[in-house]
Amino acid sequence: MARAAAWTREPGEVYAKASVAWLHAEEMYDDRGETRPLQDSLLYADPSYHELWSSMYVEYGLHRSLTLVSSLPFKIASQEATGRFGVPDIEGETIGLGALRLGVRVPLHRGRWHASFEPEWHLPLYGEPERVEDPRLGTGFMDLGAALSMGTGVPAISGYAQATAGVRIRGGSTPEEAYWDVEVGSEPARGLMLRVRYDGLSSTGTLIEVPAGGTPTPGLGGQDHHRIAPTLAIASGKGTEISVTWRRVVDGRSTLRSTEWEAAVSFLGLVRR
């Protein structure tokens, strides 16, 4: 049911996923890929960055040759650190909507393997933070992207495999990005699904200059990262699935060395006949 990249939806078919996640980081990868604390250890103790977010992701089969895709997150982002030697503490928090994602998926091939093309548009719905220590939720500019996905069923593991590669043109002076992912899913027992996803992001220009406060918050651009995300999912019948995902940034530059937990409920079915 999570085949959301290469597989298109039939007319009237909807896939919806509601999720909530918690992200935590105490370290970052600098612009050389070396790990270091989020803040200067000579000036601050116990630095940390957190995100609590919820998201709704929807795919709808408008036509056999056109699937509509959209998602919208709501975030609470915060960072904190204890100042040393009279340096003021850092206590920042930002609450708001993220970027609205709108896209379409067009099938290129159906059969033993599937292929699709997906252009997308990201529209920021947040404003600038009120204080310099409040984390930013993004660049504030619109982004345009496009990706090519391929996938196939793998009977030997009662599952599937898929891969995606794309590019994103980002607004303002934010560097453009190339992104990719590989995902394998297996159903070892009826109603039980195991998935593993590995994805990466690479900026094509100058890496981000870490903003005041020292934290390269996600979505600012000018970052590289590699993440791994295993998922355990249980189907509860009638097209509904409950899943838990652990996501970890395992390498990168100018990005958080973060750990994330996500719980989700998803549904796949027809909204009309």
pLDDT single digits (tens) 5-48: 567 777 888 999 999 999 999 999 988 888 989 888 888 999 99
pTM of this prediction? 0.89
Contact 6, 154 (CB under 8 A): no
Exposure letters 168-199 (e unless 16+ CB within 10 A, then b): bebeeebbbbebebebbbbbeeeeebbbebbb
β-pairing verdict for 224-237 and 99-109: unpaired
Q: In percent, how much of the chain has pLDDT > 70?
A: 91
Given a cut of 70, whether residue 209 has pLDDT beyond it is no
Q: SS3 of 179, please? A: strand
Q: What's the whole-number mean pLDDT along residues 189-208?
A: 85
List the structure tokens of 44.
Answer: 């601050």
Looking at residue 133, what is its pLDDT? 85
Tokens of 38: 């989020």
Residue 4's pLDDT is 55
Q: Which of 211 and 144 is assigned the larger pLDDT? A: 144
Encode pLDDT of 160-178 as tens digits: 999 999 999 887 777 889 9
Length of the chain equals 273
The number of angstroms, rounded, from the C-alpha of 157 to the middle of its chain's C-alpha atoms is: 26
**What are 171's two structure tokens?**
């607004």
Band the pLDDT of 127: cuts 50, 70, 90: confident
**In this structure, are strands 66-83 and 259-270 parallel, antiparallel, or unpaired?**
unpaired
pLDDT at residue number 205: 65
| β-pair type (66-83, 90-97) | antiparallel
Tokens of 245: 């995902």
Q: Which domains does the chain have, with CATH numbers?
A: 13-270 (2.40.128.130)
